[in-house]
């Protein structure tokens, strides 16, 4: 039987029977795949470490009846720092749900994989970055690399980029200054009855952080700081941007919020 070698991150696990699990794994090579983990919940299973939630592992797989089965596995990274803190555990579950939402079966997505792994690494190992910042940066960058990248260079209508209050037009992924927003809102009122419009006012510091989040090199997207007074707005903008483009919420997000 033909075997397949992949590197994958376990983003969901569903117990089956006494010792089995059905794993949702995102991979660079094949996107999202389902793996049947026979006996992996047993303490005697050699595959137990590699098949835990949040584990990044190398798998040798065989396919039968529509499912992949594990022939061999090696744990590459367990992100132990996440498992020692309930807030981090809840946040990681949400981040993995978002990654699973965007991952497509049969289509590799290296950018999504790298972003998710880098975010989990920061969550596990970097105590200096606030959880709000890690969460928000992941949300905004994830939406951007998965087809919803906004244009944050300047006002979409008049090209002003500083000196005026700027708003993020969430549904159209663009910036608007106060004057242009006033004109567009007037037009919307006349022509777009029933159409949702979401305009979020940005401070200069938050706009700079948003720009950095999506325009910086992949491994550097968390390398910025915000004043504590600015961080709540940044977090709110990023979450609203992602959720309005996904068009639904996440149970894991609500659980994470319930802990705060």
Portion of the chain with pLDDT greater than 70, in percent: 97
User: What pLDDT is recorded for position 190?
Assistant: 46
Q: How confident is the model at residue 195 (pLDDT cuts 50, 70, 90)?
A: low
CA separation, residue 8 to residues 39, 81, 116, 156, 157 (Å): 19, 19, 11, 39, 43
User: What pLDDT is recorded for position 260?
Assistant: 83
| pLDDT single digits (tens) 184-194 | 887 765 455 55
- pTM confidence score: 0.93
For residue 88, pLDDT beyond 80:
yes
User: What pLDDT is recorded for position 6?
Assistant: 93
For residue 75, pLDDT beyond 50:
yes
> Which range has the top average pLDDT, 37-46, 57-66, 86-95, 157-166?
86-95
For residue 12, pLDDT beyond 50:
yes
How big is the chain, counted in residues? Answer: 260
Residue 36 parent element (H or E): strand 31-37
User: What pLDDT is recorded for position 192?
Assistant: 57
């Amino acid at each position: 039987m033909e075997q397949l070698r992949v590197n994958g991150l376990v983003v969901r696990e569903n117990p089956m029977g006494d010792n089995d699990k059905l794993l949702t794994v995102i991979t660079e090579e094949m996107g999202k795949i389902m793996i049947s983990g026979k006996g992996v919940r047993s303490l005697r299973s050699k595959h137990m470490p590699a098949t835990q939630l949040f584990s990044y592992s190398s798998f040798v797989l065989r396919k039968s009846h529509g499912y992949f089965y594990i022939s061999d596995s090696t744990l590459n990274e367990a992100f132990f720092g996440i498992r020692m803190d309930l807030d981090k555990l809840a946040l990681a579950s949400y981040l993995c749900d978002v990654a699973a939402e965007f991952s497509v079966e049969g289509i590799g997505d290296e950018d999504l994989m790298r972003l998710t792994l880098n975010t989990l690494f920061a969550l596990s190992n970097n105590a200096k970055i606030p959880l709000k910042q890690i969460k928000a940066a992941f949300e905004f960058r994830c939406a951007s690399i998965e087809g919803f990248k906004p244009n944050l260079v300047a006002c979409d209508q008049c090209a002003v980029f500083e000196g005026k209050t700027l708003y993020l037009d969430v549904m159209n992924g663009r910036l608007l200054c106060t004057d242009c927003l006033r004109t567009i809102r007037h037009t919307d009122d006349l022509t777009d009855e029933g159409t949702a419009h979401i305009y979020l006012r940005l401070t200069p510091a938050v706009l700079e952080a948003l720009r950095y989040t999506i325009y910086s090199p992949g491994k550097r997207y968390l390398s910025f700081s915000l004043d504590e007074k600015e961080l709540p707005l940044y977090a709110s903008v990023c979450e609203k941007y992602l959720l309005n483009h996904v068009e639904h919420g996440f149970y894991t997000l609500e659980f994470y919020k319930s802990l705060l």
